[in-house]
Structure 1
Amino acid sequence: MRVVHWVGTVTLLFLLAVTFGQSMATDEERYSPLKRFSQVLDLVERYYVQDVDRNEMIQGAIRGMLQELDPHSSFMTQDAFREMQIDTSGEFTGIGIEISLVEGRLTVVSPIEDTPAFREGLKSGDHILEIDGQSTQDITIMDAVKLIRGPRGTTVDLTILSKGDTVPRTVTISRDVIPMHTVKLFELEPGVVLVRLTSFKETTMDDLREALDRFDLDQRVGLILDLRNNPGGLLNQAVAVADAFLHEGKIVYTKGRSAQAEMNFDASRNVLDKETPMVVLINAGSASASEIVAGALQDHGRALILGEQTFGKGSVQTIIPLADGSGIKLTTAVYYTPNGRSIQAKGIDPDISVPFVALSDDQREGRMPLVREGDLIRHLETGPIPPDQRDHPRPQVLEMLERDNQLRLALEMVKAMPRLKALR
């Protein structure tokens, strides 16, 4: 007994010594880099050729530290933090693009519809090489936003290199007020509704509810949700939009290092439409919140997903304010679709892959115009013209269908879904 007890005592002392040694080693490992940083800061302040501002140097160090983590973590100055708050809730002036750093290159994630950037033809995947002649090499997202935004009516020159091009081009874009209404609604045919979501802001779910209320549920024969070139936005709004079409089950869940980063979002039974045949349109400009919605509807079999593979941003950023009014945007979790798929760097694959094919001027001139009974002079009316058709004249809908092969197929698919379901 004594021998065992003694051996045990020695073993215990040995473990205590090892643990104490590990604690000392851990402290040394933790503070050694900070000591090195302090030494470098001191050397720069003493010997650099010009006077330096300590606050700016530390701010730059923080910015570089976060940049090294991933393309979406970043430091926000006081001005940038205010800009971020405006971007998600209020009105702002700019050109209307969502940008990101992709392999170190400033890249257009998506132009926002009906904005100057959209009208000038900027597309998802375009690389921005210069802003007003200033190189974007090693630029931060926040610095790029600050350079691109400005007063209404002023212009910004962007040097763009598009996919497939070997020579960059310079585009001059006039800044304007960027619209915050994120939902647009059209009736393509009687009972077939197109809902286009341009982004996910604080008002998105309210705008969607208001738009769908314009068409009685029992009069809907098809619903097309267009998420193309939707760069994403607020997580809670993405969950709410998916919830509007799902009556039960999981919508999305997240995983991270901390317990706070692990969240589960389930359908709350606040469903607006759980039965109307539905097609969702996606493309490479559909990112983040758009991918959450498309992934949830796809996993539950609620909608047919049509178009092209999405952008593949499957991470969650938490905005953390700092005491001086600045803040950091820190990637804290990765989200998963209901079936456990990670979208990060993979995206959502459509059920039906259909590349967008733009018609040339010659092709458009050679196409027979789409004409139906409702376009004929003195056609018989069977009831009052719906408000949406008064807001968006029929020729506009015809023009949309003529130039958009993905939308045309979505329309045919959503009308055929009840017959396909019956055959199955």
Structure 2
Amino acid sequence: MKNKKYITLGFASVTIAISILFSANLFAKATENTEKEASRLEALAKFTKVISIVEQYNVDDITIEELMDKALQGMMGNLDAHSNFLTQKDYKKLKVQTDGEFGGLGITVGIRDGALTVIAPIEGTPADKAGLKSGDIILKINEKSTLNMTIDEAVAIMRGKVGDPIEITIVRKGEAKPLPISIVRGVITIESVYAKTIGKDILYVRVTSFDKKVVEDVMKAINKKKAMIKGIVLDLRNNPGGLLDQAVGLVDLFVDEGQIVSQKGRNKSDDQVYSAKKSNTVTNVPLVVLVNGGSASASEIVSGALQDHKRGVILGENTFGKGSVQVVLPITQKEAIKLTIARYYLPSGRTIQAVGVKPDIEVQPGEVKKQEDGFSIKEADLKKHLEEELDKANGDAKDKDKKSKKAEEDKSKKDIITQEQLYKDIQLKESVDIIKALIIVKG
């Protein structure tokens, strides 16, 4: 009986101790919450006081609404390069469908080291034809300084009526002085995917941006040539990104299983993991991915995921380093905020943000230098020359020249990349050489 009493008392003592500990934890948490709330109220009071003082004593008359807008712009702009407050005008512009036609330059811009920077010119657009390059820093737009200008403000100025001119002043690496570039706004229509063949068995696929049909179009290009292709070059150079689901889907065409990308935020509800499915894989032929400083966001997810899975060789230059997730959250019916809520992580767990994807093989852009051996002539060249001279003597030279010219034009119109084109693009030439080596290794 004594033992029983002792045991009962022991359990009671433990229960009391747990209760005291639990109560202490609750008290500590309640105290912490009270302190946080007091600090929050104090900060809000300070903010209200500053607003009131500025409204009352500022040298220029300014309304409370204008003050609040400025305060919100300053607060959001100081969080990170991609978060900002959208006024009624900004929000309306953001709602414009990106797949519709609009007058613009055809560049994607971002903030790098506090400067408005060209991420990539979109191929074939006025900006591309005018010579804007990835990495160019935009100093002025129509004589207006870009200092402290948000991305949305810059885009709003650059967009405009088709046919209207605009002048961009840029700073380019390697140039001693700022360069003024005049561009005429054009209708921006983008061909996101196109494919060509190199030789008999290599498929070249160029993806310029990640719109809603990228996966479908790349799959069609592969399936069309599937019987003959032994290797693929996937070109993501100057691709500024786009839809996440298309980036995931593109990786899924080449990877059988495993994680493709994950996003992690402060709130668990924002966390997502995207994985590959074997049923979506269309080919396992050797793959080389071309990237450069204009490859951003979705392009970095694709190249980084393929690199982590050791599914392809990444060749070119370090990518831009944009690995964050933004959402637009309405705060009124006419205004909103764009807020960074998460970051992307590659299968290995590494982040893209501000780091980018480092290529497996670094190759700078340029032309392939041809070896100059001085004058030389082969027997075949001599024979061809003599035949042409004979044709001229017979009066057939003009007809042959016309036929030859037409044959060359027809050849250039076909979906092929010539040897001459390869020699003008050393990164592409290197990627083809690697693909050929991988095909031999694979047997």
The reply to whether TM is greater than 0.5 is yes
Q: Which of the residues 188, 205, 227 maps onto 1:218? A: 227
In the aligned structure 2, how far is the partner of 1:80 from the partner of 1:399? 46
> 1:274 and 1:5 mapped to 2: Cα distance?
64
Q: What residue number does 2:6 align with?
A: none
Look up the SS of the partner of 2:140 in the other structure: strand
How much has 1:398 moved relative to structure 2?
4.6
CA distance in 1, matches of 2:37, 2:49: 18
CA positional deviation for 1:57: 2.4
CA distance in 2, matches of 1:253, 1:195: 26
Contact kept, 8 Å, 1:354 with 1:406, in 2: the verdict is: yes
Q: Are the aligned partners of 1:89 and 1:202 in contact in 2 as well (CA < 8 Å)?
A: no
Of 152, 156, 178, the residue aligned with 1:142 is 152
1:401 is aligned to: 422
* CA distance in 2: counterparts of 1:154 and 1:277, whole angstroms: 46
The 1:6/1:289 distance shift into structure 2, 3 A limit, reads closer
Matched AA of 2:327? T
Aligned to 1:242, the other structure's residue is in SS state: helix
SS at match of 2:153: helix
2:46 corresponds, among 36, 48, 53, to 36
Task: Provide Cα deviations, 1:213-264, integer angstroms capped at 9, x if missing partner.
Answer: 4x23122122110001111112111111111222222111121111122111
1:48 is aligned to 2:58: yes
> How many Å separate the matches in 2 of 1:16 and 1:305?
54
Q: Which residue of 2 aligns with 1:293?
A: 302
What's 1:280 paired with?
289
The residue that corresponds to 2:130 in the other structure is 120
Q: Once the 2 structures are TM-superposed, how far is the Cα of residue 6 of structure 1 from its aligned partner? A: 10
Residues 224-239 of structure 1: pairs in structure 2 closer than 5 A: 224-239=233-248
Show the counterpart of 2:442. Answer: 421
Match of 1:194, SS state, is strand
Amino acid at match of 1:408: K
What residue in structure 2 maps to residue 371 of structure 1?
A: none
Q: CA deviation at 1:81?
A: 3.3
Structure 2 counterpart of 1:66: 76
Q: Could you say which residue in structure 2 is the equivalent of 1:351?
A: 360
- Among residues 306, 327, 333, which one is paired with 1:318 in the alignment? 327
**Alpha-carbon deviations, 1:270-291, whole Å to 9, x = none?**
5353222211101111111101
The answer to whether the aligner puts 1:101 opposite 2:111 as a matched pair is: yes
For 1:198, give the aligned amino acid: T
Q: Which runs of 5+ in 1 are unaligned?
A: 369-376, 379-384
Aligned residues of 1:196 and 1:226 also touching (Cα < 8 A): yes
Q: 2:217 aligns with which of 207, 218, 229?
A: 207
State the one-letter code of the partner of 1:348: V
Q: Label 1:68 to 1:5 Cα distance change in 2 as closer, same or farther (>3 A).
A: same
Deviation track 1:136-176 (CA, whole Å, cap 9, x = no partner) reads: 11111111111111111111111100012231011111111
Contact 2:368–2:426 (8 Å) recurs in 1: no
Provide the rounded CA distance (Å) in 1 between the counterparts of 2:436 and 2:249.
Answer: 26
Contact 1:88 1:201 in 2 (8 A): no
Q: 1:251 and 1:344 mapped to 2: Cα distance? A: 16
**SS of residue matched to 1:217:** coil
Question: Alignment length, in residue pairs?
Answer: 402
Q: 1:4 Cα shift?
A: 10
**Equivalents in 2 of 1:6, 1:227: separation in Å?**
66
Query: What is the identity percentage for the equivalent residue pairs of Structure 1 and Structure 2?
Result: 40
Tell me if the contact between 2:108 and 2:240 (Cα under 8 Å) persists in the aligned partners.
yes
Once the two structures are superposed, what CA deviation does each residue of 1:79-100 show, in whole Å capped at 9, x if it has no partner? Answer: 4334334464333221011111
The equivalent residue for 2:395 is: none
Which residue of structure 2 lines up, in the alignment, with residue 259 of structure 1?
A: 268
CA distance in 1, matches of 2:230, 2:359: 22
Amino acid at match of 2:158: I
Q: Residues 196 and 43 of structure 1: is their aligned pair in 2 closer, same or farther, counting only changes over 3 Å?
A: same
1:180 matched to 2:190? The reply is: yes
What is the letter of the counterpart of residue 169 of structure 1? L
TM-score by length of 2: 0.82
Name the Cα RMSD after superposition. 3.2
Partner of 2:3: none
**Structure 2 residue aligned with 1:339:** 348
> Which residue in the other structure is 1:81 paired with?
91
Is 1:91 the counterpart of 2:101 in the alignment?
Answer: yes
